[in-house]
Structure 1
């Protein structure tokens, strides 16, 4: 382990509701339909974030018509075969989705789709796990995320699966990916920016597999990357343009409010405005939209992780500022339609 290695900060500890409450903004384009394609619900680290918590955020003025729940290790089974315990999260999501579909919690379809976890390192043996996830999720299961974010400078990688380096190039893992593809499922990729080439290789090897890269490819701004933003951006942008040549790959525009991005919003006496967020994030978002096109890009909240930096209202206002020059069709793709196509939402 490098002498410069650091313990990754908790991404959700220290959420300060009083600090966030200082943020007050008029909602930009309040009628624009949004599908939030990346959020979590959980009970962890003494910071529960469940349906009512999310609805308070999502109900702050933007027109969130549907959401996609991303696996985060919530409510796993405590008994049964270890490889099947993630099915508990599918059962939880099915209940959340049914509650939302009832209309008792408002018009938003929360957890209209679900991306679960199965250990693809099981290879061909992952098929029964995928079948169990589909059976438990009440028609919401769309695919798998297995995080590969790893860096030698971090004592604890933020990927909760504690991946080995080079996970996406592992031969047995790729046997599992092949099963995923044969079952018509999607793959959510989560890496740090030095690992984007692993996603490129995976996408080229499985050109029929729909892949979406989470959090604009994970540019890091803390630890041994602190103070190197220009250098990181140059490396990241070159890798993203390489990835954009893979037509089966989409990208989620978000995750830059996470503490790991290194903007330090959570350390300020006042929360950032949406204009400040847009100014900081524009180079990343513009690069992705230029490389992939609006038809392969989708804005994401990544809540509650990005709630460490800003409110839900300010975050989506920032995205709307970033998309202010887009055509109506491009805006529709960025805010709803790309996500609905990728995750097969009616």
Structure 2
């Protein structure tokens, strides 16, 4: 296959957009030491890693800029300057904001914008400090999700397994909003008991037909991952969601901390059954994000 879509990656230019977390030297993150990626990561480098592996288009996901619209406009400029690389984007938006309508109007002025993301949970330790889990207790969050759906904007959902139950009850009330679950729901406890608990909780989300799942970011909680160590996650996601609601994402350059792009692609190629690959590596993402690819 030579026409894959990477449904979850990031780019950044530290001279063009301010990313506080990339400026914070010596600060350990839930995914490890970010020092090796605290530098520019531009489309040329991403393409040099992805294209030889058969990837020919991608979805850029917001990644913690101080001003999400600054980031989104920069990504749009990169897409405009590189018409040979089909790329859509998911933009940060505070769905609880008083000026949500104006924010969404601005986002929708960008031709590459397909959806929005506001992180609900990253990892237990960081969540306790940032308070992002409190979004689930804010009625404006549901209102914002519903408004995004009315505008045909999707929502990228990043959370941890502990939050799945409460989140599912909210998403069930926003059934017209397409949702992409980032990083398979971030199963951070990779013990057999931890994976069993994650799989049981995941069932609630997979039962919602408007929720799809990304096989992405699996290295963030398993820095020494191997195909065998991520196999249970891949198999559970495919079993629960089905290939037509599962899509591949590299999470580069964050997951570049744990291995190279070629090794990641080879692992997924080996783990995803041949009959499911056209959906997982292209069709699901193309349909979900309305991305036209040759």
Q: What's 1:116 paired with?
A: 91
1:264 deviates by 3.3
CA contact (8 A) 2:127 2:133 kept: no
> C-alpha distance in 2, partners of 1:158/1:336?
36
Structure 1, residues 195-228: CA drift from partner, whole Å, max 9, x if none?
122331122111111111000001114xxxxxx6
TM-score in terms of structure 1 length: 0.74
CA contact (8 A) 2:115 2:156 kept: yes
CA contact (8 A) 1:71 1:115 kept: yes
Write 1 or 2 for the structure with the bigger share of helix.
Answer: 2
In the alignment, structure 2 segments of 5+ residues that lack a partner are: 15-21, 24-37
Given candidates 255, 264, 274, the residue that maps to 2:223 is 264
User: For the aligned residues, what is the CA RMSD?
Assistant: 1.9
* Larger gyration radius, structure 1 or structure 2: 1
Distance 1:73 1:174, change over 3 A: same
What pairs up with 1:120-135 in 2 under 5 angstroms? Answer: 120-122=95-97, 125-135=99-109
Q: What's 2:80 paired with?
A: 98
Q: What's 2:248 paired with?
A: 299
Q: What's 1:64 paired with?
A: 55
1:168 deviates by 2.8
What pairs up with 1:177-256 in 2 under 5 angstroms? Answer: 177-221=145-189, 229-256=191-218
What pairs up with 1:155-166 in 2 under 5 angstroms? Answer: 156-157=126-127, 162-166=130-134
> C-alpha distance in 1, partners of 2:243/2:168?
20
CA contact (8 A) 1:187 1:212 kept: yes
Q: Which runs of 4+ in 1 moved over 4 A?
A: none
In the alignment, structure 1 segments of 5+ residues that lack a partner are: 1-30, 77-84, 222-227, 266-275
TM-score in terms of structure 2 length: 0.86
Distance 1:250 1:256, change over 3 A: same
Q: What's 2:10 paired with?
A: 40
Q: What's 2:113 paired with?
A: 141
Q: What's 2:291 paired with?
A: 345
Q: What's 2:279 paired with?
A: 333
